[in-house]
Amino acid sequence: MVQEIAETQRPASQPPKTSLLQNLTTQSLLLNHLFTLLSSLPSPQTAPQISQVHAALQLSAIDISGLVKGIGRHQEAWSHFMAKKDEIEGLEKRVRNMIRRLEEGRTELEEMIDLGNKQLEAIEQAEREPISVKTLMAHARSLAKHSSAPVSNLILPVDKDQYVPWPSENVMRMGLLFKLSGSMSGAGQFGNVYEEQHIRPQQLDNARQPEQQEESSRKYDPDAVFQLDLNSDDSDDD
pLDDT of residue 120: 93
Distance (Å, whole) CA 107 – CA 211: 84
pLDDT of residue 238: 46
pLDDT of residue 52: 78
Distance (Å, whole) CA 99 – CA 82: 25
Q: What is the mean pLDDT of each run of 10 residues along the chain (238 residues)?
A: 49 66 77 74 71 77 78 86 93 95 95 94 88 83 70 62 64 72 50 49 54 54 61 51
- Are 5 and 26 within 8 A, CB to CB? yes
Length of the chain: 238
pLDDT of residue 30: 76
pLDDT of residue 218: 58
pLDDT of residue 102: 95
Distance (Å, whole) CA 204 – CA 216: 18
pLDDT of residue 20: 73
- Are 30 and 5 within 8 A, CB to CB? yes
pLDDT of residue 192: 45
- Are 76 and 32 within 8 A, CB to CB? no
pLDDT of residue 33: 75
Distance (Å, whole) CA 150 – CA 223: 66
pLDDT of residue 51: 75
Question: Which spans in the chain are helix H?
Answer: 2-7, 16-39, 46-128, 133-144, 169-179, 201-216, 232-237
pLDDT of residue 101: 95
pLDDT of residue 222: 66
pLDDT of residue 147: 67
pLDDT of residue 73: 84
Dihedral class, residue 191 (left if φ above 0, else alpha if ψ from -120 to 50, else beta): left
pLDDT of residue 111: 95
Burial 78-91 (b: 16+ CB within 10 A, else e): eeeeeeeeeeeeee
Distance (Å, whole) CA 64 – CA 19: 9
pLDDT of residue 112: 95
